[in-house]
Amino acid sequence: MARSSHTFGLRHRLASAAATFVTLLMVGAVLSIVMINGWSSALERRRTSRAALVEINALQTGYGEQGSGVQGFVLTADRRYLDTFDEGIRRVGSAYQSLSRMTMPGERFDRSIETLRAAGDEWLIAALRPLVASTQAGELPSSEVIEAGRLRYEVLRHQLDSTRSQLDAAVQHAESRSHRFEQLAVTALLFAFGSGLVFAVVILVLIRRWMLDPLRELTIATVAVAHGEPTAIPRPLAEELSIVADAVDFLQRSKSEERDNALRAMQGLEQTAILALRVRSELANEIGTPPPGWDAHCSLRSAEGVVAGDCIDTGLLDSSTMFVVVLDVTGHGATAALHALRAKSLARMGLKSGLQPGEAIELVSRHQRADEHSQYLTAFVALVDLVNGVCRYANAGHPPALLVGPDSTTALSATGPLVGPFDASWRTESVQIALGETLLVHSDGLTEVRGPADDWFGEDRLRSALQALVGADAATIVARLEETVRAHRVGPQSDDVTLLVLQRQGSAAVLNVLPPDPAHETRLRQVDEQRDRKG
Amino acid sequence: MPDDLARSLAVTEMDDGLAFSGEIDCDSVRVLGPMLDPLPGDAAEVRLDLAAVTFIDSSGLRLLIQAHQRAETSGRSLVLERPSPSVARLLDISGLRDHLIIRDDFVDG
Q: What pLDDT is recorded for position A239?
A: 79
The residue-averaged pLDDT of A226-238 equals: 81
Q: How does residue A450 score in pLDDT terms, banded at 50, 70 and 90?
A: confident
* A234 in contact with B, Cβ within 8 Å: no
A5 SS3 class: coil
How close does chain B come to A275, measured CA to CA in Å?
A: 26
Q: Is A251 exposed, middle or buried (0-12, 13-18, 19+ CB in 10 A)?
A: middle
Q: What pLDDT is recorded for position A286?
A: 61
CA atoms within 13 A on the CB side of A479: 18
Spatial separation of the C-alpha atoms in residues A365 and A345, rounded to whole Å: 13
Q: How does residue A2 score in pLDDT terms, banded at 50, 70 and 90?
A: very low
Spatial separation of the C-alpha atoms in residues A311 and A94, rounded to whole Å: 138
* B62 in contact with A, Cβ within 8 Å: yes
Q: What pLDDT is recorded for position A512?
A: 37
Residue B44 has pLDDT above 90, yes or no: yes
- The answer to whether residues A10 and A238 touch, using CB atoms and an 8 Å cutoff, is yes
Provide the b/e sequence for A147-167 (b: ≥16 CB within 10 Å). ebbeebbebbbebbeebbebb
Q: What pLDDT is recorded for position A340?
A: 85
Please report the beta strands in A266-368, taking only residues with DSSP state E, as ranges in sequence order. Answer: 294-301, 310-318, 321-329
A294 SS3 class: strand
* B100 in contact with A, Cβ within 8 Å: no
Q: In Å, how far from its chain's centre is CA A468?
A: 66
* A413 in contact with B, Cβ within 8 Å: yes
Model pTM score: 0.56
Spatial separation of the C-alpha atoms in residues A50 and A468, rounded to whole Å: 139
Q: What is the mean pLDDT of chain A?
A: 85
N- to C-terminal Cα separation, chain A? 56
Residue A252 has pLDDT above 90, yes or no: no
What does DSSP say about strands A321-329 and A377-385: parallel, antiparallel, or unpaired? Answer: antiparallel
Size of interface A-B (CB pairs under 8 A): 52
Residue A440 has pLDDT above 90, yes or no: yes
How close does chain B come to A461, measured CA to CA in Å?
A: 16
ipTM value greater than 0.90: no
Query: pLDDT tens digits for A261-270?
Result: 888 887 777 6
The residue-averaged pLDDT of A466-470 equals: 90
How close does chain A come to B73, measured CA to CA in Å?
A: 12
Residues 22-61 of B with CB under 8 A from A: 26, 55, 57-59, 61
- The answer to whether residues A435 and A506 touch, using CB atoms and an 8 Å cutoff, is yes
* B7 in contact with A, Cβ within 8 Å: no
H helix or E strand, kind and range, residue B14: strand B9-14
Q: What pLDDT is recorded for position A280?
A: 62
Residue A92 has pLDDT above 90, yes or no: yes
Reduced DSSP (H G I as helix, E B as strand, rest coil) percent helix, strand, coil of chain B, to 5 = 35, 30, 35
Q: Give CA separation, A489 vs A231, A235, A456, B56, B87, in Å.
A: 56, 65, 9, 17, 22
Highest mean pLDDT among A367-371, B6-10, B104-108: A367-371
Q: What pLDDT is recorded for position B1?
A: 45
Q: How does residue A7 score in pLDDT terms, banded at 50, 70 and 90?
A: low
Residue B4 has pLDDT above 50, yes or no: no
The residue-averaged pLDDT of A53-80 equals: 91
Residue B62 has pLDDT above 60, yes or no: yes
CB contact (8 A) between residue A418 and residue B26 = no
> Cβ contacts of residue A99 below 8 Å, gap of 6+?
A52, A55, A113
Q: What pLDDT is recorded for position A63?
A: 92
Residue A374 has pLDDT above 70, yes or no: yes
Residue A108 has pLDDT above 50, yes or no: yes
Tell me what percent of the residues of chain A surpass a pLDDT of 90: 35
